[in-house]
Amino acid sequence: MPADWNPSTAPTHHRPVRVICITSGKGGVGKTNVTVNLALALSLQNQNVMLLDADLGLANVDVLLGLHPLYNLSHVISQERTLEEIIMTGPNGIRIIPASSGVKRMAELTPEENAGLVGAFSDLNDSLDVMLIDSAAGIADSVVTFSRAAHEVVVVVCDEPASITDAYAMIKLLSQDYEVDRFHILANRVVTAQEGRDLFNKLVKVSDRFLDVTLNFFGSIPEDPQLRKAVQAQRAVVEAFPGSRSAEAFHRLAAQVIGRWPMPRTASGYLQFFIERLINPDYVFEERVE
């Protein structure tokens, strides 16, 4: 746990839910591992967290945590189960909405079906502080849908040409075609903190030339053999090796979300994510003083 974390900065349940979409331009950069560990780090800092596995056709949040769901989002789409009925409880009480893996149909949902899936969240009555969305990689319809519905979009990159190129392409699409104009960049698997900053600067350099977007440096996760051991054990590194370099980095990210990111004033996105039950309708929203 970081020494400068102050539990008094944690939001209460009378504030809006933070909806954060975590995505990447290409697969294989550790996006799901980032989402799982950030979810657990947030929960360990007194946040009520829900994690939505929105990689609809190639889901693996449950695999990373050693969970075995009986039902998943494919059963919600087919109307066999409600969203409430498929929610699982993970480590430290985080709630997980599992998706399916290897189901081609789920990877090919129409825009209307994606919209209906997001709309189903208005029926939940959970008391939450943060919803993390582990989206698919790339620029599929579901990525666009969930990115537009979120308050914040985190793009995970690693120091590989394809990762940087694909991250830029995704940012370009979301900004030019869908008016998403703010992104948080997270550098994963870096050797040094400076490497993470340099990676961010590469994206900023090209984005400043060609795009009208704001890129913020979220931070970096170091290359860590203990993180690999945690993956092999199907556990979050934050839980399995709490004193590791990567676990400490995830706690710093969580503290930044809680203490530095502005609270949303309303439900965000063209689908009005969480507008009915997850946001207190009697609460008077006020601008957060930074």
pLDDT at site 99: 82
pTM equals: 0.84
d(C-alpha 2, C-alpha 10), whole Å:
14
d(C-alpha 71, C-alpha 151), whole Å:
28
Domain residue spans of the chain: 13-259
pLDDT at residue 25 tops 60:
yes
Reported CATH class of domain 13-259: alpha beta
Cβ contact 98:72 at 8 Å? yes
Q: How confident is the model at residue 284 (pLDDT cuts 50, 70, 90)?
A: very low
pLDDT, tens digit, 9 for 90 and up, residues 231-257: 999 999 999 999 999 999 999 999 999
pLDDT, tens digit, 9 for 90 and up, residues 262-271: 887 655 443 3
188: buried, middle or exposed (CB in 10 Å: 19+, 13-18, 0-12)?
Answer: buried
d(C-alpha 112, C-alpha 76), whole Å:
14
Nearest to 242, CA basis, from 34, 32, 41: 41
Mean pLDDT across the stretch 115-131?
Answer: 69
Q: Tokens representing 81?
A: 């189960």
What proportion of the chain, given as a percentage, has pLDDT over 70? 75
